Amino acid sequence: MKEINNKDFVITVVGVGYVGQPLINEFARTKKVYAYDIDSEKIKALGNNNKNDNIVYTNNSKCIGESDAVIVAVPTPTYDNNNPNLEFVINACKTIGDNLRKNTLIVFESSYYPGVTEDICIPLLEENSSLKNNIDFFVGYSPERINPSDKIHTINTITKVISAQNNFVLDQVEKLYSLIPDINLYRTTSIKVAELSKIIENSQRDLNIAFVNEVSQLCHLMNISTIDVLETSKTKWNFVDVFPGLVGGYCIGVDPYYLMDLGKKYGYNMNIVEQSRKTNEKIPLFIVHSLNSLLNNIKKENIKVGILGYSYKANSDDIRNTKVELIYDELKKQHFDCMISDYMLFDKNTNFNNYRELHDLDVLIIAVPHDKYRNMSKEKIISYFNKSSSKKIILDLYSVYKNYNFGSDVIYWTL
């Protein structure tokens, strides 16, 4: 294996997305990096805007054969039935195997259940390359922890878990990621431990949100404020500070399904995880149901609803698995006149009518608390409404405007 500190050491990152791109940027500080993706349009766009001579954007897989290390950062979604979808990882392994040269270090960052690296990926690499693991090539696993749009918890500030099948390879993985300035690395005991740690991190978050989502629904039945209850509970030193809301994206909304699938392989049902998923998946319907209750049987065809925010999380343009889409679809299904606006996506090709400015509304749903929306004045919010509307309703899912006094002609609702 080539010495990683060698000036000619070359890295390929497979998958140029929310995980791959930050890695490319960091490694390209000191090394030549091939940024490989099968999406030719993405590669062309990124290549046209590339200002770093160390980065080569390409959809030519031959670059893998010119590399000393390959990092796999492809998505691991679920199918429509919520079963794990490993097609991207499997295809990446076949492509890497077809181009693999001896003494290459391969590190997987994709999130999946324990056993995928050693029982699926490595055999595919061997089969497609005719090379042998731990003799001709070497494999590690380092679960991604990149949080899109988060400027605090970056790859330079988080603790990054690394793992391998033996200490020799683990040492090489450590040297590879140590190329990233200020990175904090945690050597764990095995690849399976690292794989499982990733999916339980996100599953735990899903459980916590599901709990407060259930509390929120109970509070509404009791006609008391969810946020007042949570703020009061937070005065205890060990209360976990989690807020109710929508759970989307390809981490928290997906990894629990991988954990449930893992349990089934061992004949064990992850009942709490399963119930939490069901709870969080139903929140969009609860929101629409709550709106119907506020409207008191007014004809929906006459109600104009505007939704602010479409991405799956605040201050991000990532729309993967966004649950705002479920709210929109249900409103349309019930014949509401509905439109969405998200300033983060004005230049993106999305699958909804992307109104730049909402207007003449009866109902405003603040679905994603982007900073720009958080900073809106009361007057700006009111300007979205039809002045002659008999009922002005604000559904503020994240209690952004809880301190505003909108007056008696506005119904203000929060989760």
- Give the separation between CA 394 and CA 406, rounded to whole angstroms: 10
Please identify which residue in the block is written with the tokens 């998923």.
277
List all residues 6 or more positions away from 377 whose beta carbon is below 8 Å from its beta carbon: none
pLDDT at 350: 61
Lowest mean pLDDT among 160-174, 205-219, 308-322: 308-322
Q: For residue 412, give the amino acid letter.
A: Y
And the tokens for 404? Answer: 């505003």
pLDDT digits (tens, 9 = 90+) for 94-116: 999 999 999 999 999 999 999 99
| Alpha-carbon gap, residue 187 to 193, rounded angstroms | 11
Mean pLDDT, to the nearest integer, of 243-269? 95
Please enumerate in sequence order all residues whose Cβ is within 8 A of that of 361, keeping only pairs 6 or more positions apart, or say none.
Answer: 304, 305, 306, 384, 385, 386, 389, 392
Mean pLDDT is highest, among 5-9, 150-154, 300-304, for 5-9
Question: What tokens were used for 146?
Answer: 């990149």
pLDDT at 370: 95
pLDDT higher than threshold 80 for residue 352: no
Task: Kindly report, residue by residue over 200-229, the tens digit of the pLDDT.
Answer: 999 999 999 999 999 999 999 999 999 999
Task: Please identify which of the residues 63, 121, 219, 251 carries the catalytic annotation.
Answer: 251
How high does pLDDT run on average in the chain?
Answer: 94
Helix, strand, or coil here: 368? Answer: coil
Cβ distance 14 to 75 under 8 Å?
Answer: no
- Per the DSSP assignment, residues forming a β-bridge with 78 are 84
Pairing relationship of beta strands 32-36 and 10-14 according to DSSP bridges: parallel
What local confidence, expressed as pLDDT, does residue 232 receive?
97
Q: What φ, ψ does residue 266 adopt, rounded to 5°?
A: -105, 10
**Residue pLDDT, tens place only, 47-97:** 999 999 999 999 999 999 999 999 999 999 999 999 999 999 999 999 999
Identity of residue 126: E
**Dihedral of the alpha carbons of 26, 39, 142, 136, in degrees to the nearest 10:** -100
**Averaged pLDDT for residues 177-192:** 96
How many helices (H) and strands (E) the chain has is answered by 13, 13
Residue 6 neighbours by CB distance under 10 Å: 10
Alpha carbons 365 and 355: distance in angstroms, whole number: 14
Residues 169, 135 contacting (CB under 8 angstroms): no
pLDDT in the model for residue 194: 98
Is residue 251 flagged as an active site residue? yes
Residue 391 pLDDT = 78
DSSP state of 300: G
Mean pLDDT of 271-294: 97
Q: What is the pLDDT of residue 357?
A: 81
Instruction: Please tell me the pTM assigned to this model.
Output: 0.93
pLDDT at 193: 98
Q: Which two tokens stand for residue 284?
A: 């969009």
Q: E-strand spans in 98-257?
A: 104-108, 137-141, 159-164, 184-187
Q: Which two tokens stand for residue 86?
A: 């490993």
Contact 159, 184 (CB under 8 A): yes
Contact 318, 368 (CB under 8 A): no
How many CA atoms lie less than 13 Å away from 282 in the CB half-sphere? 15
> By C-alpha distance, which of 312, 317, 308, 327 is closest to 254?
312
| Domains along the sequence of the chain with CATH | 10-190 (3.40.50.720), 211-414 (3.40.50.720)
Residue 353 pLDDT > 80: no
